[in-house]
Amino acid sequence: MSNIPHISIVSPEYRGENMVHELVERIVKAVSSFTEDYEIILVNDASPDNTWAAIVAECAQNQKVKGLNLSRNFGQHYAITAGLSNAKGDWIIVMDCDLQDRPEEILNLYKKAQEGFDTVLAQRVHREHSWFKQMGSKAFYTLLAYLTETKQDASVANFGIYSRDVVHAILAMGDKMRYFPAQVQWVGFRKAYMPIQHDVRAEGKSSYNLSRLFRLALDTIISFSDKPMRLMVRAGLWITVIAFILALVYLIKYLTGGIEVLGFASIIISIWFLAGIVILLLGILGLYMGKMFETVKNRPMFIVGQKCNFD
């Protein structure tokens, strides 16, 4: 086997203590069907259970299994970035740890990539998620596609196979806010989509609650697009035009005696409406300034506390 593996499998781990062994076992079986030249990189995102101990145990059993233990919980997409930064393969597969991404689909993704594609994304035709989560996901991706002016697909997540060129391009992005699916779409390259079977979660439930999903959506939109600011400029322009037209209408009514009593309610409503617009605009500006502040500090996106089976 060469020093550079042909295939790298990157999987962020969180609350996966009881799933790590089965995940590794199924990945090894799937990848060994077409190559013995591979590495499996498991990234523990400071899981509060014994996930890291489970990863170390797998590393002891198989030298091709490698572990990264982050110093604290940075988040799923930062854990993916940590794995990509340490992956050496010609092709890199990214998949979640909950076994909803079936390792048995790896061979199909690899075969599709050999047809001349740089990226092959697993398309979950029938998602094993709750109706609420599916509807929220569709709404998020529709809004993200509109605001970032990129193509987004709610049936696609992290699972896929990516060439070394694609991974290099993603790692070269200087964005402090990382959202892997949006980065994949942004860098371009030749893409293909492959329908796959999506399994139910092997154990427990997703760590993404409504609050975390909303924060992820907001951070992603602010990081990847300035369109919210442009929309506010457009809204401000239209409000100005409407206000000017209304001023002309009321001026004509006043000159022709059409106004007998000045309206208190209309004045209050106008004040509150315009104040809301101003506060909203200032809030959006504040969010962008906050992201700029995070960027200029130039802190690392992740910190690796421990490594296992890395040279």
Where are the chain's structural domains?
7-205+300-308, 227-297
pLDDT tens digits for 155-167? 677 888 999 999 9
Query: Which of 41 and 127 is assigned the larger pLDDT?
Result: 41
Q: Please tell me which of 68-72, 238-242, 306-310 the model is most confident about, judged by mean pLDDT.
A: 68-72
Tokens 């992740």 correspond to 302
pLDDT given at position 211: 61
Three-state DSSP class for 68?
strand
pLDDT given at position 226: 67
Closest CA to 157 of 188, 124, 187: 124
Give the angle subtended at the CA of 77 by the CAs of 173 and 94, to the nearest 5°. 95
Closest CA to 18 of 45, 58, 46, 75: 58
Q: Is the pLDDT of residue 1 over 50?
A: no
Helices (H), the chain: 20-32, 51-61, 76-86, 106-113, 131-148, 164-172, 180-187, 210-224, 227-255, 264-297
pLDDT tens digits for 3-19? 567 889 999 988 888 88
Query: Which of 310 and 260 is assigned the larger pLDDT?
Result: 310
| Confidence band, pLDDT 50/70/90 cuts, at residue 103 | confident
Between the CA of residue 49 and those of 45, 54, 57, 305, what are the distances in Å? 11, 10, 15, 16
Percent pLDDT > 90 in the chain is: 7
Task: Please enumerate in sequence order all residues whose Cβ is within 8 A of that of 66, keeping only pairs 6 or more positions apart, or say none.
Answer: 39, 40, 41, 42, 59, 86, 307, 308, 309, 310
Q: Can you read off the two tokens belonging to residue 228?
A: 């919210």
pLDDT given at position 152: 65
pLDDT given at position 133: 61
| Confidence band, pLDDT 50/70/90 cuts, at residue 42 | very high
pLDDT tens digits for 195-241? 887 666 555 565 555 566 666 666 666 666 667 767 777 777 777 77
CA separation for the pair 229, 150 (Å, rounded): 17
Percent pLDDT > 70 in the chain is: 66
**Superfamily name with CATH number, domain 7-205+300-308:** Spore Coat Polysaccharide Biosynthesis Protein SpsA; Chain A (3.90.550.10)
User: 155-159, 179-183, 287-291 — which is least confidently predicted?
Assistant: 287-291
Closest CA to 93 of 5, 10, 152: 10
Task: Please enumerate in sequence order all residues whose Cβ is within 8 A of that of 75, keeping only pairs 6 or more positions apart, or say none.
Answer: 45, 178
**Amino acid in position 133:** K
pLDDT given at position 92: 92
pTM above 0.85? no
Q: Is the pLDDT of residue 25 over 60?
A: yes
